[in-house]
Copies of this chain bind each other. A is one copy, B any other.
Amino acid sequence: MLDSQPQRAAARLLSWIEDEDPRAVAALQATWSRTGNGYVIGVTGPPGAGKSTLVDCLAVHAAAQGHTVGVLAVDPTSPFSGGAVLGDRLRMNGAQQQGVFIRSVATRGHLGGLTATTRYLVNALELLGCDLVFVETVGAGQGDVEVVQLADTTVVVEVPGLGDEVQAQKAGILEIGDLLLVNKSDRPGADRLAQELLSAVELGEPRDWQPPVLQVTAIEGTGIDAAWDAIVDHRAHMEAGPLADDRLARQMHELEQQLQQQLFRDRMVTIGDKALRSAAERVLARRSDPFSAINRLAN
């Protein structure tokens, strides 16, 4: 770990990002060259899948292997309030006692989008000394796909007994999983769910990496060793080849998002906020179609 001075600076940076303090940008710029050394593991899945318990187990396990571990529980779900619903969230005592750095954040993605803002939170954890960061999305799986895009390894957590509609969703979420975990495997239907996931993987497009399907019961710590080993395997696979291209593609996507927002801000300075309002009024009154309105605003 770092000595106390840089560590205080890193902790302050983390708070600045969370609090949307404008000083965050300069601090990120000043420290940029010292970030980027962490490996990021994304964890997603439907509500009720037990993601936080699972992440805590994996984090403790990784810490025991010598990693300095950070956990970001990101709540992208409060675009209307901006408030954290995470404050009263239960976390296992284990993880925090064993030196795992856990941070629950509700962010609307003020620093150029949700993925970018979460990426900067990861960078702040790297400055705190973390070489391994779990990014867990609190919430609803599919909508959190965006956040997971910053992960080097993505773990998808499923759970038996969530109903038929969930089944239909798996097609989408399966495609992003490098590792599929059936949590709460002591429940009825766990074996069948694991079998279905395995079939889905085998029926899918052949890939360089075939996502393993494993059963765990995080609350009892069952299956965590095997899940961790699968993560290590995937990391080795990534680092032997695809990781660099993968990170480049993701960085390009992030820059694209941020550039869009920057160009918009610059344009608004030129044309004024009222232009947007009056364009919207014309579109609603059917005096202009939206495509023509956009062209006028852009040129």
Contact = CB atoms under 8 A, between A and B. Distances in A.
Copies in the complex: 2
Contacts of A49: 165
A258 interface: yes
A288 to B, nearest CB: 8
A36 interface: yes
Contacts of A143: 76-77, 139-145
Interface stretch (A2-10, A78-86, A91-99, A188-196): A78-86
Q: Is the interface of A mostly helix, strand, loop or mixed?
A: helix
A152 to B, nearest CB: 13
How many A residues are at the interface, by size bracket? 35 or more
Interface stretch (A63-71, A172-180, A231-239): A172-180
B267 A32 contact: no
11 contacts: A32-B290, A52-B165, A81-B172, A86-B168, A140-B141, A248-B284, A252-B277, A256-B276, A260-B261, A262-B295, A266-B298
Leading 10 A-B pairs by shortest Cβ distance: A143-B143, A140-B140, A48-B163, A32-B289, A251-B280, A77-B142, A263-B263, A77-B172, A85-B171, A140-B142
A142 B139 contact: yes
Interface of A: 25, 28-29, 32-33, 35-36, 46-52, 75-81, 83, 85-86, 88-90, 112, 116, 138-145, 162-166, 168-173, 175-176, 247-248, 251-252, 254-256, 258-264, 266-267, 276-277, 279-281, 283-284, 286, 288-295, 297-298
Given A175-B80, A289-B29, A293-B255, A48 B162 contact: yes
Contacts of A163: 47-48
Contact of A259 (B142, B162, B165, B267): B267
A175 B29 CA distance: 36
Given A47-B165, A172-B80, A267 B263 contact: yes
A61 B89 CA distance: 40
